[in-house]
Structure 1
Amino acid sequence: MEQLATQIQEKAIDSQQQLRSILLQVTAKERSCRIKELAKKELDVVGKDAAVYGGVGKMFIRTDLDSVRKTIDAEISSLQQELDALRKKKDYHETTAVNANSHLQKIKESVR
């Protein structure tokens, strides 16, 4: 019985650690997504003949506005997919932590 309780407690602790890590990743991805969306809004304000530069390594190269918009749209889409996957992981780990804690509670009650 003690070994089972120990395993369940380890699972709960692991899920809580994973949950913290996932929440940090979600926050970072959401921040990146907001930055990309703000950049896209700024590009909407810029005229068609404005000089737009894209980063390549440590330098910038002049690119056309449409390709920059497409790149930003692709990056936003990728970030959204990553956020969806992270949210699914978050839900899984939340459920696992709650279930583990409820199982531990039942074990404590049965011992008394």
Structure 2
Amino acid sequence: MALNEEAIKRIFQEMQNKNLQYTRDLNGVKYQIQSNEREQKICELANRELLNYDDNTIAYTSVGKMFVQADLKDIRKQNEKQIEEYKQEHDDLKKKEKYIEKNLTDLQNHLKDIMHSAR
């Protein structure tokens, strides 16, 4: 009987460690989602502001620590491309979040089952 209790304790400890890891992963993904949404909003705001200007307006874009003159159309296209990349990354992060949440829920249910069976 002692071996069975030791095995249950070991399994329970491993599952608790996995629970902590999934929780950390979930918090990290949520932070990435917030960061992604913030960056996407910045790009969208910049694009809206650029629409107010004529195509002949001189514009500059940053390259490292310096600025280079660029076509306003090219800057808009670059922003649109960046927005699409942010949207794709957001979708991928949401899928990852759902996957981790599902694993976390399953693990918590298993932990509850182990606790009930140990009683």
Q: Could you say which TM-score interval applies, normalised by the shorter chain?
A: over 0.9
What stretches of structure 2 of length at least 5 have no aligned partner?
Answer: 1-7
Q: Aligned pair 1:95/2:102, yes or no?
A: yes
Equivalence for 1:104: 111
CA-atom RMSD in angstroms: 0.9
Q: Which of these residues, 24, 39, 59, is aligned with residue 17 of structure 1?
A: 24
Alignment of 1:76-87 (within 5 A): 76-87=83-94
Q: Aligned pair 1:61/2:75, yes or no?
A: no
Higher relative contact order (CA 8 A, sep 6+): 1
Q: Which runs of 4+ in 1 moved over 2 A?
A: none
How far did residue 65 of structure 1 move?
1.0
TM-score by length of 1: 0.95
Larger Rg computed on CA atoms: 2
Cα distance in 1 for partners of 2:108, 2:23 equals: 11
Cα distance in 2 for partners of 1:11, 1:88 equals: 20
Q: Percent identity?
A: 32
TM-score by length of 2: 0.90
Counterpart of 1:50, as a letter, is T
Number of aligned residues: 112
Q: Aligned pair 1:72/2:79, yes or no?
A: yes
Corresponding residue SS for 1:53: strand
How far did residue 63 of structure 1 move?
0.7
Q: Which of these residues, 41, 52, 55, is aligned with residue 59 of structure 2?
A: 52
Corresponding residue SS for 1:45: coil
Indicate conservation of the 8 Å contact 2:55/2:73, yes or no. no
What stretches of structure 1 of length at least 5 have no aligned partner?
Answer: none
